[in-house]
Structure 1
């Protein structure tokens, strides 16, 4: 018995670690690509990539851990069925119920970590991410410029091009600025420049050793001016006051608030660790491999159930927010439905009945004589 538990725990741990790293790599690649696209469009500055990516990973951490532990249990037991190890253990007197306790012992600390992220860390990270984005919106126009790219001001009356910044972002080189004032177009070029803040709090870009060209549309006249120093006032962005959403509220404040959106968010946070336990218990009967079916059919069926489960939770959460479902009912109908599904699968597996519908099986063709 000890050998069985030790072998199961070791393989579950190694599988869960490997699957989590794979899921983490996929999420990092997807989120990093999305953030880089926003940076290339000038929506976010270059120095915000690491911070925004970190907050995104913290927000996705409970779902990544839930999926990783579900796939770890499913793939481990599937391999044991496929390699006939499960037959050996059951021949030694182990019943299907005796697999639940060691798997739940393996799952318990992971569920505690998922609960910690879902109830405490995830809302904190969401609040920090929103406040950080608000700070980025309040930055001046120069803060969102990427070196070597053209950037239009928020008012649309000025275009910047800066070839390079220093490490702190205050010294700039090879500057190009085009502006429209009083029906005339002005173009300013300078070899270098610097940023500074005046005593009244206004931000300026000081250009040194450059030229200014001023032209009138539909005219061939060009006025050229050389300067030693030229100051350009950089407009600060005006943003609307930040609104507090249910996603960034702490769990304690959700318990005291009475709005439907707050109750829906509270049910969602509790649903993540609950659904993890339910899906891991479902993985035990789903791991059975029918020799007459495809080798990966049960895995596809299990992943489909996982997707349906989470989508139903999202739908019910939206219905709670809209007032279509009572907050007392919450997401429990979804949990109870899948608990009943798990009981049904355990019952069929206990009586050695196939878990998959008959039309999913591949029936071998018998050659006619």
Structure 2
């Protein structure tokens, strides 16, 4: 039991460090990608944290397996380099004890990945689609910059103004075009002031001074209208966006079970296969950690990373092939983890023999 706990601790310690590093890198990249939308008024600053959190939740089903894989490679590589494995074998500790500790950690993490993939993934994607639909019909006017055309709502809304002293300051020489169902509305104004407190109530309102409103009919029959107003309150956002299209990634897992659509089948198989991949990648770290005497403990780290990227690329490609009907639902994407399982069966005997007999001769 002492040896088992020690082995688990040697794996979990680098696993936590690697996972935290991957989370920080992913969160930093996602935040930088969203900052441009926030700066252009397409996304509120308060939404960035939620969007990054949702994307991070989705990515954990990929980050956890690779963190486990790297942790096993690092832990066993260090133990081999420090001759700890040789000392354990000299104390008649059976090789399956080391093998079993890795399996235990892999199974526990596979259960967590399964919950994330089966339940957290569709919920996070559904929330992302909901926020994307809201962003399509809302615009943060106080963050807009001059001399820029802001196009939203699938081209139904265009906003432009010539000058502004600072963010939140009144905009000058404003132009707004809003396409309604049967007419196009064009608004020009000398000044525009975003009203404070509008976002708390879910409405973005703008106070226009010296405004001119033109309602232009598109059917060619209705009379056009022109209105001049000294003061005008405008909400450049529609009440709701267009209906969201169906998405397999945002569909609850229970609804995918009886579906025959290729996209649904690929998505369901992906969710079911991520725990399997977690276990297989944990075991793949065993042969990837075996090195020759006097060889650096990290000598095979580069090869291990290449092996992971090859597996992940093939795995995601298989999902795409099933989505587009190139590969049928049977074997679906299962042939990729199947190949990895066959590789492990053919290679695990070799490192186990190496564990039993110590380092191989140069």
TM-score, structure 2 normalization: 0.78
Match of 1:271 in 2: 273
Measure, in 2, the Cα distance between the counterparts of 1:349 and 1:334.
23
The SS at the match of 1:256 is coil
Instruction: Tell me if the contact between 1:62 and 1:272 (Cα under 8 Å) persists in the aligned partners.
Output: yes
> Shift of the alpha carbon at 1:307?
1.0
The SS at the match of 1:159 is strand
> Shift of the alpha carbon at 1:211?
7.1
The SS at the match of 1:43 is coil
The SS at the match of 1:121 is helix
Identify which of 278, 285, 288 aligns with 2:287.
285
The SS at the match of 1:189 is strand
Identify which of 311, 314, 317 aligns with 1:309.
311
Which residues of structure 1 form unaligned runs of 5+?
166-171, 214-227, 354-362, 364-369
Match of 1:221 in 2: none
Instruction: Tell me if the contact between 2:170 and 2:191 (Cα under 8 Å) persists in the aligned partners.
Output: yes
> Shift of the alpha carbon at 1:338?
0.9
Instruction: Tell me if the contact between 1:164 and 1:173 (Cα under 8 Å) persists in the aligned partners.
Output: yes
Match of 1:252 in 2: 254
> Shift of the alpha carbon at 1:162?
6.1
**Structure 1 83/152 Cα, relative in aligned 2: closer, same or farther at 3 Å?**
same
Give the number of the structure with larger relative contact order, counting CA–CA contacts within 8 Å between residues 6 or more apart: 2
> Shift of the alpha carbon at 1:195?
6.5
Identify which of 149, 155, 163 aligns with 1:152.
149
Match of 2:328 in 1: 326
**Structure 1 263/25 Cα, relative in aligned 2: closer, same or farther at 3 Å?**
same
Q: CA RMSD in A?
A: 3.2
The SS at the match of 1:329 is coil
Instruction: Tell me if the contact between 1:5 and 1:102 (Cα under 8 Å) persists in the aligned partners.
Output: yes
Measure, in 2, the Cα distance between the counterparts of 1:156 and 1:261.
35
Identify which of 149, 157, 172 aligns with 1:176.
172
> Shift of the alpha carbon at 1:137?
1.1
1:297 aligns with 2:312: no
Measure, in 1, the Cα distance between the counterparts of 2:106 and 2:159.
59
Measure, in 2, the Cα distance between the counterparts of 1:196 and 1:348.
68
Measure, in 2, the Cα distance between the counterparts of 1:196 and 1:17.
43
Measure, in 2, the Cα distance between the counterparts of 1:116 and 1:180.
47
Match of 2:347 in 1: 345
> Shift of the alpha carbon at 1:316?
1.1
> Shift of the alpha carbon at 1:122?
0.9
> Shift of the alpha carbon at 1:288?
1.0
**Structure 1 242/145 Cα, relative in aligned 2: closer, same or farther at 3 Å?**
farther
1:77 aligns with 2:76: yes
Instruction: Tell me if the contact between 1:196 and 1:205 (Cα under 8 Å) persists in the aligned partners.
Output: no
Match of 2:234 in 1: 233
Q: Bigger CA drift: 153-162 or 99-108?
A: 153-162
> Shift of the alpha carbon at 1:205?
2.0
> Shift of the alpha carbon at 1:248?
0.4
Instruction: Tell me if the contact between 1:153 and 1:159 (Cα under 8 Å) persists in the aligned partners.
Output: no
Specify the structure having the higher radius of gyration (Cα): 1
**Structure 1 174/271 Cα, relative in aligned 2: closer, same or farther at 3 Å?**
same
1:59 aligns with 2:64: no
**Structure 1 144/55 Cα, relative in aligned 2: closer, same or farther at 3 Å?**
farther
Instruction: Tell me if the contact between 1:152 and 1:160 (Cα under 8 Å) persists in the aligned partners.
Output: no
- CA deviation profile, 1:257-316 (whole Å, cap 9, x unmatched): 111110111111112111110011111122112236554331111111111111111111
Match of 2:128 in 1: 129
Instruction: Tell me if the contact between 1:111 and 1:277 (Cα under 8 Å) persists in the aligned partners.
Output: yes
Measure, in 1, the Cα distance between the counterparts of 2:235 and 2:304.
56
Measure, in 1, the Cα distance between the counterparts of 2:277 and 2:50.
29
Measure, in 2, the Cα distance between the counterparts of 1:93 and 1:153.
72
Match of 1:3 in 2: 2
